[in-house]
Amino acid sequence: MKKSKIIASIIIIFVVISLGISILYGFGFNVKGTNPKKTSDQLIQEYIRGKKAIVIDFYADWCPPCRAMEPTMKALEAKYKGKVYIVKVNVDDPENNNLNLKFRIVSIPTYIFINRKGTVVDKLIGYQEMEVMENEFKKLF
C-alpha cells in the first residue's frame, strides 16, 4: 500500500513539473526580432520572394547547444546585417510544426542556409565553430 502511494506521488510530481515546463516554454511568439503577427513560414517566404539570403536557426529555449550558439549567431547577424537574414524558429512552438517537417528537423540546433534564389545551399546540425558558420554564410553569395 505504501509503495503505491509513493509511486502515485512521484507520478503526480512529474506531471506537475512537466506541465510547468510546458507552460514556461510553450507560450509566446518565437521568431525573435520580427513582427509577431507573421508566422515563421510567412517571414521565410517573404524573404525568398524578396531575393534575400536566409539562415533559418531551428532552436529550443531549453537546449544548451542552442544557447551556446547565440553569441556566434549574434556576431554573424551583426557582420552580415542587410545581406543575410536570420530567422529563429522555435521547434517547440506548434505553429512551426510545418517548418519542422518541411526541413526534416530531427535535432537541434539545426541551421538551414537558403541563397537568394530560394535554394537550400546547406544544412548544419549541432554546435558549430565560428569559422564553420562563417564559411556557410559566405556560400550564400
Out of 31, 60, 66, 91, pick the active-site residue.
66
Q: For residue 82, indicate whether it is catalytic.
A: no
All cell numbers assigned to 109: 540546433
DSSP assignments along 2-44, one per residue: HHHHHHHHHHHHHHHHHHHHHHHHHSS--STTS-TTS-HHHHH
Length of the chain: 141
Nearest to 113 by CA among 83, 87, 136: 136
Q: For residue 13, indicate whether it is catalytic.
A: no
Out of 34, 41, 63, 123, pick the active-site residue.
63
Active site residues: 63, 66
